[in-house]
C-alpha cells in the first residue's frame, strides 16, 4: 500500500514539475517573427518593404514570400512611382498565383507597370503571353487591347496602325482615328530639318511656323540688327569691323537661330505625336472598359 502511494506521489511530483517548467520554457522560446514586409506596407513604407522582400527572396528563393504579399509590394511600389522595382514582384506573384484568372490579372498589372516604366518590349511580351494563354476570352480581349496601347506608346506607327485597324475603337469616327494615326507617322527628325532650313532662309521663319512667335520675333530682330550693322560698316569701308561683327557675333546668332528653328519644329512634331497617342489610348481604353 505504501509503495503504491509512493509511486502516485512521485508521479504527481513529476507532473507538477512539468507544469511549473512549461511556462518558463515557453517564455524562453522566442515568438514567431512578425511579417515585416506587411508591417512596412501598413506603415506606408513601400521602398523599405521592397528591400525586405528582396532580402527574403535572395535568402529563401521566390517562395519565401506569399504571392499575395509580392503582389501588394509590387502595387505599392508602382503607386510610389517606382515601376522598375514593382514589375519583378508582380511577375513573380503572377507566376506563383494558384488561380489562373488571378495570375492573368496580375500579369496584366505587371504589363501596365512596365508601360509606365517605358519598357515597351517587355510589356508587349507579357500582353502577348496573356492573349495567347489567358484563362478566358475576357482576359484575352483585355490583353489584346493593352498590347495595342503598348504599340501606340512605343511610337511604332506601322504596328500601331495595324493593331488599331484590327481592333477599331467602337463608336469612334473613322476619319478621326485616321487623323490620329497620321499624327503618329510624323517624324520629328525630318520636321527638325525642315524647321532649320526655313530659319536659314529667313531668321525666325522656322520658329514662327513651329508655334513660337516670341522666339521668331527675337531671332528676326537680333539677326536683322546685326545684318544692318554689318551693312553700315561695309558702306563706311570698315571691312575689319564688318568682318568682326558678321563672323564673330552675327554668325553665332545666325546658327543659333537655325538651331532654334529646328527645335521648334521638332517639339511641335513630338507634341502632335503625344496628343495623337493619348487620344488613341483613351479610345482603346474606353473600349476595353466597355468590353469588360
- Closest by CA to 153, choosing from 182, 184, 180, is 184
The residue that leads in pLDDT, 89 or 172, is 89
Which of 128, 154, 180 is the last residue in one of the domains?
Answer: 154
Taking phi first (over 0 means left), then psi (-120 to 50 degrees means alpha), and beta for anything else, what does residue 44 get? left
**How many other CB atoms are there within 10 angstroms of residue 162's CB atom?**
13
**What is the length of the chain?**
292
Give yes or no: residues 47 and 150 share one domain: yes
Query: Does residue 19 belong to any structural domain of this protein?
Result: no
Give yes or no: residues 146 and 252 share one domain: no
Q: Residue 103's domain is classified under what CATH number?
A: 1.25.40.10
Taking phi first (over 0 means left), then psi (-120 to 50 degrees means alpha), and beta for anything else, what does residue 237 get? left
Look at residue 164 and tell me whether its pLDDT is greater than 70.
yes
Give yes or no: residues 76 and 145 share one domain: yes
The answer to whether the beta carbons of residues 131 and 140 sit under 8 Å apart is yes
Look at residue 4 and tell me whether its pLDDT is greater than 50.
no
Report the alpha-carbon distance of residue 91 to residue 94 in Å, rounded: 5
Q: Longest C-alpha distance within the chain, in Å?
A: 143
Give yes or no: residues 212 and 269 share one domain: yes
Query: Does residue 175 belong to any structural domain of this protein?
Result: no
Q: Return mean pLDDT, the chain.
A: 78
Look at residue 170 and tell me whether its pLDDT is greater than 70.
no
Look at residue 291 and tell me whether its pLDDT is greater than 60.
no
Domain range for residue 54? Answer: 36-154
Instruction: For residue 35, give the C-alpha cell.
Output: 511579417
Angle between helices 120-133 and 100-116 (to 10 degrees): 160
Eight-state DSSP code of residue 62 = G
| Per-residue pLDDT at 9 | 33
Query: Does residue 180 belong to any structural domain of this protein?
Result: no
Give yes or no: residues 220 and 147 share one domain: no
Can you tell me the mean pLDDT for 39-60?
Answer: 89
Look at residue 41 and tell me whether its pLDDT is greater than 80.
yes
pLDDT digits (tens, 9 = 90+) for 5-40: 344 334 333 333 333 333 433 344 433 344 888 888
Give yes or no: residues 135 and 60 share one domain: yes
Query: Does residue 238 belong to any structural domain of this protein?
Result: yes
| Per-residue pLDDT at 134 | 86
Query: Does residue 13 belong to any structural domain of this protein?
Result: no
What is the count of structural domains for the chain?
A: 2
Percent of the chain with pLDDT over 70: 77
Instruction: For residue 12, give the C-alpha cell.
Output: 504527481
| Per-residue pLDDT at 63 | 81
Give yes or no: residues 150 and 192 share one domain: no
Give yes or no: residues 150 and 40 share one domain: yes
Query: Does residue 24 belong to any structural domain of this protein?
Result: no
Query: Does residue 73 belong to any structural domain of this protein?
Result: yes
Q: What is the pTM for the complete model shown? A: 0.66
Report the alpha-carbon distance of residue 73 to residue 59 in Å, rounded: 18
Query: Does residue 243 belong to any structural domain of this protein?
Result: yes
Amino acid at each position: 500500500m505504501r509503495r503504491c502511494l509512493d509511486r502516485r506521489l512521485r508521479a504527481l511530483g513529476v507532473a507538477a514539475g512539468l507544469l511549473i517548467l512549461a511556462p518558463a520554457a515557453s517564455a524562453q522560446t522566442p515568438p514567431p517573427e512578425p511579417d515585416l514586409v506587411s508591417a512596412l506596407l501598413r506603415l506606408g513604407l513601400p521602398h523599405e518593404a521592397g528591400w525586405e522582400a528582396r532580402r527574403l527572396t535572395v535568402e529563401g528563393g521566390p517562395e519565401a514570400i506569399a504571392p499575395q504579399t509580392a503582389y501588394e509590394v509590387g502595387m505599392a511600389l508602382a503607386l510610389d512611382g517606382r515601376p522598375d522595382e514593382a514589375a519583378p514582384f508582380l511577375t513573380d506573384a503572377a507566376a506563383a498565383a494558384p488561380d489562373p484568372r488571378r495570375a492573368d490579372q496580375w500579369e496584366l498589372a505587371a504589363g501596365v507597370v512596365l508601360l509606365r516604366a517605358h519598357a515597351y518590349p517587355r510589356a508587349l511580351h507579357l500582353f502577348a503571353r496573356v492573349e495567347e494563354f489567358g484563362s478566358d476570352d475576357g482576359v484575352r480581349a483585355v490583353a489584346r487591347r493593352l498590347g495595342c496601347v503598348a504599340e501606340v506608346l512605343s511610337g511604332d506607327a506601322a504596328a500601331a496602325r495595324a493593331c488599331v485597324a484590327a481592333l477599331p475603337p467602337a463608336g469612334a469616327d473613322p476619319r478621326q482615328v485616321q487623323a490620329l494615326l497620321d499624327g503618329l507617322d510624323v517624324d520629328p527628325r525630318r520636321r527638325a530639318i525642315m524647321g532649320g532650313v526655313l530659319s536659314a532662309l529667313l531668321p525666325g521663319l522656322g520658329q514662327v511656323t513651329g508655334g513660337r512667335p516670341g522666339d521668331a520675333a527675337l531671332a528676326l530682330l537680333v539677326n536683322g540688327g546685326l545684318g544692318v550693322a554689318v551693312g553700315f560698316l561695309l558702306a563706311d569701308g570698315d571691312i575689319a569691323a564688318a568682318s568682326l561683327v558678321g563672323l564673330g557675333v552675327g554668325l553665332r546668332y545666325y546658327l543659333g537661330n537655325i538651331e532654334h528653328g529646328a527645335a521648334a519644329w521638332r517639339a511641335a512634331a513630338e507634341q502632335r505625336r503625344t496628343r495623337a497617342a493619348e487620344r488613341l489610348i483613351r479610345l482603346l481604353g474606353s473600349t476595353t472598359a466597355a468590353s469588360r
